[in-house]
Structure 1
């Protein structure tokens, strides 16, 4: 299915796990609870797609375009997303545990309550991102761009979280665990 045109299609609950979807076009597709686990999404386009609560665990998604996509409560655990475009995306409560996120463009995205614990965010763009209770416990943020003190103040980190020069951990760190 490499290069498939699935633009504006309904793919909710479809099982794509392990499928080669490199350079596939899912622009404006609707795919609630779709399963892309371990799929090859290299260079795939999900721009303006609605993929809430979908499984992207362990996908190969280098250079994929998720700009303006709705991905709330999706799972990207263990995914390789290096260089992906997630600008202006809805990523509330998304899981990124053990994911490779270097060089991702998260500019102007909603990352509220997303889990980025322990990740190396080298080259990640956080300009204008909404980071309310975003979990950065033990993450390396020293190489991110666009991060402000106001964003850090509403995010969650730990003593092990590395911040860029000039930014300081707020007294509210670590945040209290909250109920799902």
Structure 2
């Protein structure tokens, strides 16, 4: 009799625990779907963002697709092999940063400070670098097809081994006597 009573109590306890767990999950599912940004169809666009100061940070190999990193300081940071497709880094500082083998296709580098940055083998297809400072930056074997260099400073930059660079892109940028370009291309002088 005592053994059957214990079995009945244990069974009832399991039923109560299972019911409570189901109730918590049902309520939590609704809470997670609603909190903190509302429903998915609310029109609010979720976009990850990082900012502030992150000097000499190791962000190599990170997936940062569509990230918003505007007005931040990433001087001397390592973005090698990172995926930064459609990232918005407008107004950020990347002095001496390493973007080797990074994917920056369709990224916004508007007014970014990329002095002495490394873009070796980087993909910058259709990136917008209007007003960016690429003084002494390295673009060894980088793909800059359809990249916007409007009002960008290319003084001392090495673009000799880039892929997809055209005179039309350079005509809206500026450089100096130290700017290295593929044969037959020229860039107006900054001044």
* 1:146 and 2:161 are equivalent in the alignment: no
User: Equivalents in 2 of 1:88, 1:106: separation in Å?
Assistant: 7
- Superposition RMSD in Å: 1.5
Larger radius of gyration: 2
Where has structure 1 moved over 6 Å in runs of 4 or more?
none
- Bigger helix share: 2
* 1:158 and 2:176 are equivalent in the alignment: yes
Name the residue aligned to 1:111: 129
Asked if structure 2 preserves the Cα contact closer than 8 Å seen for 1:81 and 1:100, the reply is yes
Asked if structure 1 preserves the Cα contact closer than 8 Å seen for 2:116 and 2:138, the reply is no
Name the residue aligned to 1:175: 190
CA distances 1:56-109 after superposition (whole Å, capped 9, x unpaired) = 111122101111011100111121221111110010011111222211111101
- SS of 2:163's equivalent? coil
Name the residue aligned to 1:89: 107
* 1:132 and 2:160 are equivalent in the alignment: no
User: Equivalents in 2 of 1:45, 1:55: separation in Å?
Assistant: 19
User: Equivalents in 2 of 1:119, 1:38: separation in Å?
Assistant: 17
Give the CA deviation at 1:120.
2.3
- The size of the alignment, in residue pairs, is 146
Name the residue aligned to 2:67: 49
Give the CA deviation at 1:35.
2.3
